[in-house]
Structures are given as structure tokens and as C-alpha cells.
Amino acid sequence: MFSSTQNTIIAVATPLGVGAIAMIRVSGKDAFSITQKIWKSKKNLLTQVPNTLLVGTIIDQENTPIDEVVLSIFHAPHSFTGDNTIEISCHASPYIVQKILTLLVENGAKLAQAGEFTRRAYLNGRVDLAQAEAIADVIASENENAHKIAFQQMRGGFSKQIKKMREDFIKLAGLLELELDFAEEDVEFANRGEIQKQVHQLSQNISDLANSYQLGKVLKNGFPVAIVGKPNAGKSTLLNALLAEDKAIVSPIAGTTRDSIEDETTIKGIKFRFVDTAGLRQTDDIVENIGIARTKEKMQASALILYLFDVSEFTPDVLLKNLLEIEQYNVPILLVANKIDIADKNAIHYFENFEEKYQKQIIFLSAHTQHNLENLQNKLADYVQMQPLHQNQTIITNTRHYACLQDTLKALEQVKKSLDQKFSTEMVATDMREVIYQLGTITGEITNNDLLEFIFTKFCIGK
Amino acid sequence: MFSSTQNTIIAVATPLGVGAIAMIRVSGKDAFSITQKIWKSKKNLLTQVPNTLLVGTIIDQENTPIDEVVLSIFHAPHSFTGDNTIEISCHASPYIVQKILTLLVENGAKLAQAGEFTRRAYLNGRVDLAQAEAIADVIASENENAHKIAFQQMRGGFSKQIKKMREDFIKLAGLLELELDFAEEDVEFANRGEIQKQVHQLSQNISDLANSYQLGKVLKNGFPVAIVGKPNAGKSTLLNALLAEDKAIVSPIAGTTRDSIEDETTIKGIKFRFVDTAGLRQTDDIVENIGIARTKEKMQASALILYLFDVSEFTPDVLLKNLLEIEQYNVPILLVANKIDIADKNAIHYFENFEEKYQKQIIFLSAHTQHNLENLQNKLADYVQMQPLHQNQTIITNTRHYACLQDTLKALEQVKKSLDQKFSTEMVATDMREVIYQLGTITGEITNNDLLEFIFTKFCIGK
């Protein structure tokens, strides 16, 4: 449970471990007076100008100096939480950090729960709920794309969109509510056709946002790519080359890989999750057959299939036949001609013709020597960036937001139905209120305590 | 190698890991102009008042926002290093931290070596060498005592003492040097008796400081206490009780412990290093005999022996006999009567009489039930605090300082000898210069590059 917002809360905001500096955050109405009690300096903390730095000493009850520190002074409402805040930068000694926390508690501060600072920021109106959730994502972001999406959300891009939609919808609903006030006079302030048009447009927008969730999830967790091909096409060698490590066991014996081996790597700021699969062939080996069945599952779950073949052994006819088999999974396919280091020129030439004829681009490379590996990496990055939803569109990554959007869509469907069936004004108004309610839960204009607890306890302490 | 002091250096000053906030330090003559290049805010960083905080956005070359950060602005010479310094507090995302460091490097900053910030502080005269070394100790301090000593040194207590001694000695030597200028006139500005008196006094002071090294080391690394006694006296049970964990294997079979088991724990802010030893007895077991030999070594190396005996089985006569054996190691002994939970009252009474007769305090406890364990813990803490050198005296903990003090003592011996043997003024003056030189190396008034490299590379990055 979070403590009362009347309390002054404290926590170490920097990671624990060995370093030069640690930062302890003190926030709440008594932040200044509590810190003043363990503070010794020529300068009075209580009369200090906001947004300034103070150098001085933290002392204990016996006036023993504990550390020389720098204080950052933020006055309400111009702080992260919106409350009076002091950030104490001390030496990152475990002893000192613990001692300062203890002294602050002894003088009336409470240790903060995970996410409690951000929760205060939300309660004080410094950020809305979706922004608050994005802060956790910004901190957790490990690559350029994840960061970009989270940062945009933290800045409120997504929230603004939702708020705008909600406000527009409130106006529309307002007209309907007005009709209710004048129910006896049988007037129509809100044109039903106009409402239908707007409900349709909103459904479209909400639906686009909800659809972006799949891509958002993919960009956050890694774009899933299945590496598929006949036994001994060089799939494991390619996986190792892409990961720049020896993850998969490689041998000249066909059928070496039985389990699906998965790992992620970042290419041009995009996180990919590659799955090396068992080679597709008829076999009596039971374990290998389980592997092949799993390969088929993995292909269906992936966003892109890399179909790898040995250019020194394959013919365009065989390739075509195999492609027909793979295409049934309805996943985009990228063709990769491997082993150009040992294939003769004629073989490669055949496939170049194939490329023209079927208008399917083939990437020629050697996974073994890593020749042209970069071409594949560029192609992969380009492919993700070409995704329709990826260009300056809002992408959502948060499961809670996705669920809220789905609920909004359901409510909109109900509005449509009521309008189509010419239900009473009162019933339509009730359905519209549900849409407004659902949109409000995303940014936190509609909220309850359980939800807040659920959201903020997923944060790290000190944020 | 450290880079030129003309460079602007950067590093993450906070520990690496998961947390809310990370801090990147930028220090050097171009700290402001380099940071300005990746900075976007209504407020101009270059015209900002010193010791203030600025909120704004870090951007990349394409104006893409990377993070919303707080800058702390310090103007030379009023910063930790003495150079212009900006501390960037950003979100502790690995991606963001890496990106900001990269942007700073692309704009001309250099990644700092371990200790490079403190080295700058030294070169700019913000701290002397002994203080700089103490900063590393402050950060590493894990308990109250280690912190107290390091903090006092960081504040310059030890340096002041050394500098005062050196200045006094320089004055004295100056008179002698003056005599050299008037060599032909055979005058004596410096009374030889006075010099002898001062040399003697200085030797005494330096020697006290050097002696504090043993205690300093003990307080830093843990006060070594050997737990000694007959087999089955309950030594391992006592060790486990003191450590509050099951470190040693305990069994009712005498001779269970063969290896010496060591571990440390902090009692009332003092770090203790307890050694559980093999029980002292005649045995044919070869392994056990090696253990007993090792016990004797451990006793000699310890600062205090806890002699443990089973009060339910021992008699005062046996205790006396055993004590005579232990006393030959010349290490202070604390007597602990164990197993009061199973001993009868008479047995305990015998030993209370013994206590009076031999004026040796005995602590009665049960390691098994932990009854009276606190008495022992209090006694141990009191014992360390009663150490003559522990009360407000300067304690040195740094091996380099100890070596310098030893060299100073050697040089002082040489001065004494030259004076005793009435050597020429010139020879005495040369010997005195050596004393001044040696004292100067402690605080860094005398120094060389190798020494600086040696000292500062032991720091953590970002300090």
C-alpha cells in the first residue's frame, strides 16, 4: 500500500551498486524541514531559491558528519512529483546511503514504495496515467525503437490523441444529453447521421491504435523472424553470424538442429528475435520430427520467414516447389541464397534469372564467410521500417491500453447498434457514456485505487 | 593513460543497473559548449547562473529528443574537479545513457578513465593527494568505523597534521640552510639542541601515526578474533550465532571442525573477522593435527582470543591450566563460559569465584540458545573502542601512507645520527631535506606521474 500523500517519501533513485555518486530523493510537504534537520551548511536550506544547488554536509543527531553532499532544490509545483523535492547527491557508499536513509526516516520521512514518486506526479496532475506508464517503459527501453515509442508516449503524444477523441465525443454526447433535458418537446439537437459518421470515424481511429499494438509488442519484444530451409542449408551458421556468437551447434551433418533455438539481437536500433528451426525434411527420427512440427508452429508465429537455401545444390525448380509449401503459412518470405563461397557462377546465375522471372528478391550471401551478411541486415531493418504503422504513427505497447481500446471498440459497436435500430435517445446516450468512460480509463481521467496500485507497483523504487 | 587536462571528460557517475535516475558527469573547459550542442530548452545553458538546475531535453543531430533531463551547472573553480562541470541527470535506461555518452563523444568529449575526475580535482588544487585517496575509501566504506576514518581523511584531518609537521620542519631546516649561506662566518642560527628536541618530537608523532596503521588496517578489514577452546566447547555454534547464519558444520562429535572457518560480521558499526578454530587436543588424526597447528598460527595473528569453555564440564583448575598455555601467545584473552543452559548452578558459581580471584572477567552465555549473546557482542565492541589509538586520534589505513611514514622515520633517524655525531651543517641539512621530501610525498606536494597513475587508476569510473 502507498502511504498518505501527506507523508514525505524518500528512496534511492540511482541504481544500487558500486559507483561514485548515489542520489536520494526526498519529496513531500515536509521535504525541506526534514532535510534541514540533518543538514549543516552556512546556507539555510529553508530560504533557498528554487532550482538551485547547495553544497554542504549531512550530519547525524550527534553532529557527526556523514557525508559531503550536493542538494538539488525543487519547489512545488515545479518538481517531478509536483511536491517540494530535494535530491541529495552523496557518495555511493552502501554505508553512507543507508545512514542517510535512516536519518531521514528518524526525522519523519517514509520509505517510498515502487512507483510512489510517479504516482504522486499523477495525483498532482504533472503527468496523466498513460504518460506515467510510459516512464517505466522509457527506463526499460533497451533499443532505439522501444525508446522512441516509450519516449513519445511519455511526452504525451498518445494521451493527447485519446484526450482529443474523448473531448470531441463528449461534445457530441452533450447534444444528446441536451435532448434528454427537453424530452417532452421532442427536439433533435444531434443529427443522427452526424453521430453515425463520427462514431464510425472514431471506431476507425481506435481500431488503428489497437492494431498498432501487435507491431508495438513486436518492436518492444523483438521482431520475430523464423530461419527456415532444408537440412544443411546453413541455418544455424546464419543464426550464429547474425547473433555474432556461437549459439547453435553447427555440424556438416544434416539434421544437427532439433530444438528451435531462439535469440535476440539489435540491428540498426531494431530488436529482432531470430528462431533457428529444424530443417524441413521427411525423416524417421522421432525427435527430429517433433522438431519439424515445431518449425511449422514457429513459422506461423513469426512476422517474417527467412527462407534459406544452398545455392550450390538447389535448382530454381526445387526452390519454386518449396516456396509453394511455405507460402501457405501466409507470412512474408525473404529468400536467402547461401554458400556463394562454394557455389559456381552458373548456379548463382540461374537464381538471378529466377529473381527476375518471379519478381522475388533473393539475397546472395555466405553465412560461413559472412560475405554480404550486411546486405541481409540492411534488408531486415528496411523491412521493419517499411511496415505501414511504423511511420510517425502512434504505436501502443501497453497491454492495459490495448485492453481499454478493445473495450472502447465494443462500446462503440453498441452505440452503432442502438443508432441503427433507432433505439431511444436515452439508450444511445447511455451507450455513448460508456465510450467516454472507457477512453477516460486510458489517461486516468476515470480511475480507481486498485488500478493505480496495479500500475505503479510495477515501477522500480525511487521513481 | 589519462588524457590531457585540456580535454573535457565524461562518465556515468552513478552505479550501472536498474534504477530511476542515472547521472552523467561532464567536466572540462568545454563542458558547457559541448553539452549545449545536444541541449534543447528555452533557457540558454551558456548564460546560466552557476549552482542552478535546468530542465530540458537532450537531442541528437537530427533533433530527435533522447530524454528529458535535469542539468546541474557548476562553474570553475567551484566544482568537484575545479573545472566547469555539468551533471546530467537522465532516466537510468541503458539505451539513453549509452546514447547521451555517444552524443557527447561525437561533440568532442572524451570518456574518462577511472579516477580521472578526482585526479583533475587534485591537479586543480581542490584536494591534496591524501584526501583524494580517502575519497575512494569513503566510497568503499561498508561500516561506521571504516567510514569515520576515511571521511576524516577526506576532509583533510590527516593532511593538515602532515602539512603542519612539514612546515615546522621546513622552518627549522631553513635556519640551517641560512647558516650555509653564511658558512664563512661560522655563525649558528639553529640551536643544535633545539633541532634535536624537535627531531625527537617529530619522530614520536610520525611513529604514532605509523603505529595507527595496524589498527587502521584492522578496522578497515575487520578486527581479527580467534575463537579457541577444547573440542566440543561449542566454538562453531558460537561462530554461527555471531554470524547469524550456519557457516560452520556443527555436530556433537568432538573434532568436527578441522579447517579454520573465517567470516566477518559487523557489531555496533565495527567490522569483526571471526576465526573458528579446530579444538585444541592431543589426537592421532593427521588432518585434525594440521588443523590444530593452524589454530596456533591463527591465535598469534589475531588481535583478541575468545577462550571458550564448557561450563558444565570444566573446573576452574583446568581452566587455569589451559589459560597458562594460551597466554604464551601474548594476545589479549576474553573468557567465555558456554552452555549455561545445561550447566548446574554450582558449576557456574565456581567460575564466578574464579572471576574474582583472578580478576579475569568471564562472560556466561549459551551459544546454543543465544542467551546472553548480546553481552558478548557489547563486550567485543567496547573492547575495540577502548583501544588506545581509537579515540579521536588520526588513524591511517593507506599502505602508501604507511610506507611514506616509515621512510620519513628512516630519514629522521639519519638526522639524529648526523646530529649526534656532530656532522657538518651541510650534511645535517641534506638529511633534513630528505625528511621534508618524504613528508611531501604523502599529501602530494612532492609527486611524479607514475605515482599519480598508481593512485588514481584504483578509483571507480566516474569519480
Using alpha carbons, select from B172, B141, B137, B174 the residue that is nearest to residue B158. B137
**Whether B139 and A92 lie within 8 Å, measured CB to CB:** yes
Q: Which residue of chain A comes nearest to B99, CA vs CA?
A: A144
**Whether B23 and A89 lie within 8 Å, measured CB to CB:** yes
The DSSP code for A16 is: S
Give B-chain residues touching A461 at CB under 8 angstroms: 20
Residue A17 is nearest to which of B15, B68, B96, comparing CB atoms? B15
Residue A53 is nearest to which of B52, B91, B462, comparing CB atoms? B52
**Whether B96 and A141 lie within 8 Å, measured CB to CB:** yes
> pLDDT: is B255 or A432 the higher one?
A432
pLDDT of residue B218: 76
Segment B411-416 mean pLDDT? 94
Segment B185-198 mean pLDDT? 81
Grid coordinates standing for A100? 542517510
Interface test with A, best of B139, B154, B458 (most A CBs within 10 A): B139
User: Lowest mean pLDDT: which of A15-29, B75-89, B375-389?
Assistant: B375-389
Q: What is the pLDDT of residues A63-73, one digit of tens each?
A: 999 999 999 99
Contact A334, A355 (CB under 8 A): no
Using alpha carbons, select from B332, B443, B336 the residue that is nearest to residue B388. B332
Q: Which superfamily, per CATH, for B132-212+395-444? A: tRNA modification GTPase MnmE domain 2 (1.20.120.430)
Q: What is the pLDDT of residues B71-123, one digit of tens each?
A: 999 999 999 999 999 999 999 988 899 999 999 999 999 999 888 999 999 99
Å between B21 CA and nearest CA of chain A: 5
Q: Which residue of chain B comes nearest to A92, CA vs CA?
A: B139
Confidence of residue A418 (pLDDT cuts 50, 70, 90): very high
* CATH class, B9-127 region: alpha beta
Dist. CA B335–CA B301, nearest whole Å: 18
Dist. CA A349–CA A334, nearest whole Å: 19
Å between B137 CA and nearest CA of chain A: 9
Residue A93 is nearest to which of B19, B87, B140, comparing CB atoms? B140
Contact B184, B165 (CB under 8 A): no
Please determine, for residue A106, whether its predicted confidence score (pLDDT) is greater than 90: yes
Dist. CA A276–CA A257, nearest whole Å: 8
Please determine, for residue B430, whether its predicted confidence score (pLDDT) is greater than 70: yes
Domain ranges for chain A, please list them.
Answer: 9-127, 132-212+395-444, 218-388
Confidence of residue A390 (pLDDT cuts 50, 70, 90): very low
Please determine, for residue A182, whether its predicted confidence score (pLDDT) is greater than 80: no
Dist. CA A235–CA A306, nearest whole Å: 9
Please determine, for residue A338, whether its predicted confidence score (pLDDT) is greater than 60: yes
Contact A90, A21 (CB under 8 A): yes
> pLDDT: is A129 or B458 the higher one?
A129
Interface test with B, best of A139, A145, A463 (most B CBs within 10 A): A139
Give A-chain residues touching B99 at CB under 8 angstroms: 147
Å between B442 CA and nearest CA of chain A: 23
Which single residue is written with the C-alpha cell 573446573?
B315
Cα angle at B18 between B17 and B21, to 5 degrees?
100
Q: What is the pLDDT of residues A46-105, one digit of tens each?
A: 899 999 999 999 999 999 999 999 999 999 999 999 999 999 999 998 889 999 999 999
Instruction: Give the CA count within 13 Å in the CB-facing half-sphere of B121.
Output: 22
> pLDDT: is B389 or B356 the higher one?
B356
Contacts of B171 (CB under 8 A, 6+ apart): none
Please determine, for residue A214, whether its predicted confidence score (pLDDT) is greater than 80: no
Segment A302-309 mean pLDDT? 90
Please determine, for residue A134, whether its predicted confidence score (pLDDT) is greater than 60: yes
Give B-chain residues touching A40 at CB under 8 angstroms: none
pLDDT of residue A295: 76
Using alpha carbons, select from A100, A48, A249, A98 the residue that is nearest to residue B53. A48
Dist. CA B20–CA A285, nearest whole Å: 52
Q: Which residue of chain A comes nearest to B22, CA vs CA?
A: A14
Q: What is the pLDDT of residues B131-161, one digit of tens each?
A: 988 888 888 887 887 888 888 888 888 898 8
Give A-chain residues touching B12 at CB under 8 angstroms: 19
Decide if A98 touches B, using CB distance below 8 A. Answer: no
Please determine, for residue A289, whether its predicted confidence score (pLDDT) is greater than 80: no
Strand-pair partners of B305: B226, B333
Residue B142 is nearest to which of A53, A67, A94, comparing CB atoms? A94
pLDDT of residue A392: 56
Dist. CA A222–CA A211, nearest whole Å: 17
Confidence of residue B390 (pLDDT cuts 50, 70, 90): very low
User: DSSP of A150-163, one letter per residue?
Assistant: HHHHHTTHHHHHHH
User: Lowest mean pLDDT: which of A275-284, A440-449, B421-430?
Assistant: A275-284
Give A-chain residues touching B147 at CB under 8 angstroms: 66, 93, 95-96, 99
For chain A positions 17-76, those within 8 Å of chain B (CB to CB) are 17-23, 25, 51-54, 64-68, 70, 72-74
Give A-chain residues touching B151 at CB under 8 angstroms: 65-67
Give B-chain residues touching A143 at CB under 8 angstroms: 95
**Whether B17 and A21 lie within 8 Å, measured CB to CB:** no
pLDDT of residue A260: 60
Contacts of B369 (CB under 8 A, 6+ apart): B341
Residue A147 is nearest to which of B68, B95, B142, comparing CB atoms? B95
Dist. CA A67–CA A100, nearest whole Å: 9
pLDDT of residue A54: 94
Cα angle at B31 between B25 and B34, to 5 degrees?
110
Decide if B16 touches A, using CB distance below 8 A. Answer: yes
pLDDT of residue B245: 65
- CB-defined contacts A:B, below 8 A: 158
> pLDDT: is B344 or B71 the higher one?
B71
**Whether A460 and B20 lie within 8 Å, measured CB to CB:** yes
Segment A160-187 mean pLDDT? 84
Please determine, for residue A203, whether its predicted confidence score (pLDDT) is greater than 90: yes
pLDDT of residue B287: 63
**Whether A15 and B14 lie within 8 Å, measured CB to CB:** yes
Q: Which residue of chain B comes nearest to A143, CA vs CA?
A: B95
> pLDDT: is B256 or A173 the higher one?
A173
User: DSSP of B374-390, one letter per residue?
Assistant: HHHHHHHHHHHHTSGGG
Q: What is the pLDDT of residues B200-219, one digit of tens each?
A: 999 999 998 888 887 777 77
Segment B307-327 mean pLDDT? 86
Dist. CA A242–CA A370, nearest whole Å: 9
Segment B292-320 mean pLDDT? 84
Strand-pair partners of B267: B270
Interface test with B, best of A16, A40, A53 (most B CBs within 10 A): A53
pLDDT of residue B121: 93
Confidence of residue B184 (pLDDT cuts 50, 70, 90): confident
Average pLDDT of every residue of chain A: 85
Please determine, for residue A37, whether its predicted confidence score (pLDDT) is greater than 90: yes
User: What is the ipTM score, two decimals?
Assistant: 0.71
Contact A122, A132 (CB under 8 A): yes
> pLDDT: is B172 or B280 the higher one?
B172
Å between A21 CA and nearest CA of chain B: 5
Please determine, for residue A413, whether its predicted confidence score (pLDDT) is greater than 90: yes
Strand-pair partners of A59: A65
For chain A positions 441-460, those within 8 Å of chain B (CB to CB) are 460
Contact B66, B58 (CB under 8 A): yes
Confidence of residue A408 (pLDDT cuts 50, 70, 90): very high
Contact B26, B462 (CB under 8 A): no
**Whether A147 and B19 lie within 8 Å, measured CB to CB:** no
Å between A13 CA and nearest CA of chain B: 5
Residue B16 is nearest to which of A15, A93, A117, comparing CB atoms? A15
Segment B368-386 mean pLDDT? 88
pLDDT of residue B252: 56
Whether this prediction's pTM lies above 0.80 is answered by no
Give B-chain residues touching A92 at CB under 8 angstroms: 14-15, 139
Average pLDDT of every residue of chain B: 85
- Using only C-alpha atoms, chain A has a radius of gyration, in whole angstroms, of 30
Q: What is the pLDDT of residues A347-389, one digit of tens each?
A: 888 888 777 766 678 899 999 999 999 999 999 988 887 765 4
Segment A292-307 mean pLDDT? 82
Cα distances (angstroms) measured from residue B167 to each of A401, B156, B158, B235, B432: 71, 16, 14, 53, 12
Give B-chain residues touching A68 at CB under 8 angstroms: 154-155
Using alpha carbons, select from B321, B260, B334 the residue that is nearest to residue B295. B260
Contacts of B49 (CB under 8 A, 6+ apart): B73
Give B-chain residues touching A155 at CB under 8 angstroms: 65, 68
> pLDDT: is A38 or B422 the higher one?
A38
B296 in helix, strand or coil? Answer: helix
Please determine, for residue A253, whether its predicted confidence score (pLDDT) is greater than 70: no
Cα distances (angstroms) measured from residue B74 to each of B10, B27, B40, B308: 15, 9, 19, 58
Confidence of residue B346 (pLDDT cuts 50, 70, 90): confident
Q: Which residues of B194-210 are buried (b: 16+ CB within 10 A; e: fewer)?
A: ebeebbeebbeebeebb
Dist. CA B32–CA B74, nearest whole Å: 10
Q: What is the CATH number of domain B218-388?
A: 3.40.50.300
pLDDT of residue B191: 82
Give B-chain residues touching A54 at CB under 8 angstroms: 51
Decide if A266 touches B, using CB distance below 8 A. Answer: no
Give B-chain residues touching A93 at CB under 8 angstroms: 138-142, 147
Interface test with B, best of A49, A141, A147, A219 (most B CBs within 10 A): A147
Using alpha carbons, select from A184, A145, A207 the residue that is nearest to residue A390. A145
Confidence of residue A252 (pLDDT cuts 50, 70, 90): low
